[in-house]
Structure 1
Amino acid sequence: MRFDIAAFAVRNWQFTLVAFGLLILLGVNALFSTPRSEDPHFPIPIVTVQAVLPGAEPAEVEQLIADPIEAALDGLDNVDSITSTSLDGAAVVTVEFDWSVNPERKYDEVVREVNAVRASLPQGLTRLEVRRARTTEVAIVQLALVSDHLPMRRLEKLADSLRERLDRAPGVREARYWGVPASEVRVALDLGRLAALQLPATAVADALRSAGAETPIGAAHAGDRRFNIKSGGAFRDLAAVGEIAVRRQAGQVVRVRDVAHISWAQQEADHLTRFNGRRAVFVTATQKDGADVAKVTAGIDQAVTDFERTLPAGVRLERGFVQAKNVEHRLLRLFRDFGLALGIVLITLLPLGLRAGGVVMLSIPLSLLIGLALLQALGFTVNQLAVAGFVLSLGLLVDDSIVVTENIARHLRAGADRVTAAIAGTRQITLAVIGCTATLMFAFLPLLALPGGSGGYTSALCRSPSCARSAPRSWCP
Structure 2
Amino acid sequence: MSEGRFNLSALAVRERSITLFLICLISLAGLVAFFKLGRAEDPAFTIKVMTIITAWPGATAQEMQDQVAEKVEKRLQELRYYDRAETYTRPGLAFTTLTLQDSTPPSKVQEEFYQARKKVGDEAGNLPAGVIGPMINDEYADVTFALFALKARGEPQRVLVRDAETLRQRLLHVPGVKKVNIAGEQPERIYVEFAHDRLATLGIGPQDVFAALNSQNALSPAGSVETSGPQVFIRLDGAFDTLQKIRDTPVIAQGRTLKLSDVATVRRGYEDPATFMIRSGGEPALLIGVVMKEGWNGLDLGKSLDTEARAINAELPLGLSLSKVTDQSVNIAASVDEFM
TM-score range, shorter chain: 0.7 to 0.9
What code does the residue aligned with 1:183 have?
A: E
What's the offset of the Cα at 1:45?
1.7
Deviations 1:25-67 (A, max 9, x none): 4334323433322222233221122334567676665555444
What's the offset of the Cα at 1:311?
4.5
Q: Residues 243-258 of structure 1: matches in 2 within 5 Å?
A: 243-247=248-252, 253-258=257-262
What code does the residue aligned with 2:76 have?
A: L
Residue 264 of structure 1 corresponds to 268
Residue 111 of structure 1 corresponds to 117
Which residue of 154, 178, 181 maps to 2:186?
Answer: 181
CA distance in 2, matches of 1:207, 1:38: 57
Partner-residue secondary structure (3-state), 1:120: coil
Deviations 1:414-457 (A, max 9, x none): xxxxxxxxxxxxxxxxxxxxxxxxxxxxxxxxxxxxxxxxxxxx
Do the aligned partners of 2:298 and 2:328 also contact (CA within 8 Å) in 1? Answer: yes
CA distance in 2, matches of 1:22, 1:104: 39
What code does the residue aligned with 1:4 have?
A: N
What's the offset of the Cα at 1:82?
2.3
Do the aligned partners of 1:166 and 1:175 also contact (CA within 8 Å) in 2? Answer: yes
Do the aligned partners of 1:46 and 1:103 also contact (CA within 8 Å) in 2? Answer: no
Partner-residue secondary structure (3-state), 2:39: coil
Question: What runs of 5+ residues in structure 2 fail to find an aligned partner?
Answer: none
CA distance in 2, matches of 1:55, 1:311: 47
Residue 417 of structure 1 corresponds to none
Structure with more strand by fraction:
2
Please report the RMSD computed on the Cα atoms of aligned residues, expressed in angstroms: 3.6
What's the offset of the Cα at 1:239?
1.6
Do the aligned partners of 1:140 and 1:284 also contact (CA within 8 Å) in 2? Answer: yes
Do the aligned partners of 2:75 and 2:120 also contact (CA within 8 Å) in 1? Answer: yes
Residue 282 of structure 1 corresponds to 287
Q: Residues 50-129 of structure 1: matches in 2 within 5 Å?
A: 50-53=53-56, 65-86=68-89, 90-101=93-104, 102-129=108-135
CA distance in 1, matches of 2:307, 2:67: 47
CA distance in 2, matches of 1:59, 1:82: 17
Do the aligned partners of 1:44 and 1:133 also contact (CA within 8 Å) in 2? Answer: no
Deviations 1:295-354 (A, max 9, x none): 44445445433443454554443211011221122112222xxxxxxxxxxxxxxxxxxx
Deviations 1:72-100 (A, max 9, x none): 32453443332334467654321111122
The TM-score with structure 2 as length reference comes to: 0.78
CA distance in 2, matches of 1:116, 1:203: 40
The TM-score with structure 1 as length reference comes to: 0.58
Do the aligned partners of 2:53 and 2:94 also contact (CA within 8 Å) in 1? Answer: yes
Partner-residue secondary structure (3-state), 1:320: strand
Partner-residue secondary structure (3-state), 1:231: coil
Task: Summarize the Cα distance change of 1:324–1:3 in structure 2 as closer, same or farther, 3 Å threshold.
Answer: same
CA distance in 2, matches of 1:74, 1:25: 52
Residue 140 of structure 1 corresponds to 145
Residue 131 of structure 1 corresponds to 137
Determine whether 1:308 maps to 2:313: yes
Task: Summarize the Cα distance change of 1:323–1:160 in structure 2 as closer, same or farther, 3 Å threshold.
Answer: same
What code does the residue aligned with 1:44 have?
A: I
What code does the residue aligned with 2:115 have?
A: E
CA distance in 2, matches of 1:16, 1:233: 84
Partner-residue secondary structure (3-state), 2:274: coil
Partner-residue secondary structure (3-state), 2:125: helix
Determine whether 1:17 maps to 2:23: no
What code does the residue aligned with 1:13 have?
A: R
What's the offset of the Cα at 1:138?
0.8
Task: Summarize the Cα distance change of 1:16–1:253 in structure 2 as closer, same or farther, 3 Å threshold.
Answer: farther
What code does the residue aligned with 2:8 have?
A: I
Partner-residue secondary structure (3-state), 1:329: helix
CA distance in 1, matches of 2:219, 2:173: 30
Identity of aligned residues (%): 26
What's the offset of the Cα at 1:115?
0.9
What code does the residue aligned with 2:124 have?
A: R
